[in-house]
Amino acid sequence: MKQRYYVCIRYLPAQADCSLLAGRCISQMHKFMINNKQVMNQIGVSFPSWRVDSIGNTIAFVSEDKELLIGLSFQPYFSVMKEEELFELSAVSEAPEGAAEVRFVRNQAIGKSFIGSKKRRMKRSMVRAELAGVESLPVADEDREVEHFHRIPISSGSSRQDFILHVQKERVGERVRASFNSYGFATNQDKRGTVPDIHF
């Protein structure tokens, strides 16, 4: 497989809301990919400082395309945050050979476990039953066991809606080709790309 590259962003404020800043960085990468459709799904997200209690104060973007990462690193948001001394951006560098492989997965099933989501789905079920002329009271009988995850708040540019990305880290035995969703994550089904487990 091809050589991979990464660019790393470190959040400098000591009391930074790391999840919020990760969401803003991911939003910038998402916009960058939407505007460069030929490279859609070729950038993966990594969290070099991921811990159980925190997503960490760094985010890395990984790709086989070095020029793509250079273009991403020059996006206005990153330049402003660097000028304001809120972010430290690394140069685009070669990913270390022989690093363990990990997968950061956006797990949408986690969101379905929360009460707000259950209420919305029950309400839709009741509307469908009413339209079908069936009398029905939906039952929220879902017990889900969920592995550790972090929450990343995101704002959608197109719908102007705020939502949460529920992200889990999986250790993987071997590298899987770059295949990520438009937010840079693997999914539970079709997008299963991996990134090197980078540490600083």
3-state secondary structure of 33: helix
> Which pLDDT score, from 0 to 100, does residue 156 have?
75
- Spell out the domains of the chain, with CATH numbers in brackets: 5-107+165-196 (3.30.70.2540)
According to the model, what pLDDT value does residue 184 have? 96
Mean pLDDT in each 10-residue stretch from start to end of the chain (200 residues)? 96 96 97 91 97 96 97 97 97 94 92 57 65 66 69 83 93 93 93 92
pTM, to two decimals: 0.84
Helix (H) / strand (E) element for 147: namely none
Distance in angstroms (rounded) separating the CA atoms of residues 9 and 79? 11
What's the pLDDT at 122?
58
Per DSSP bridges, beta strands 58-63 and 5-11 are antiparallel
Task: Tell me the β-bridge partners of 46.
Answer: 60
pLDDT of amino acid 142: 57
Residue in 186, 179, 140, 192 with CA at minimum distance from that of residue 40: 179
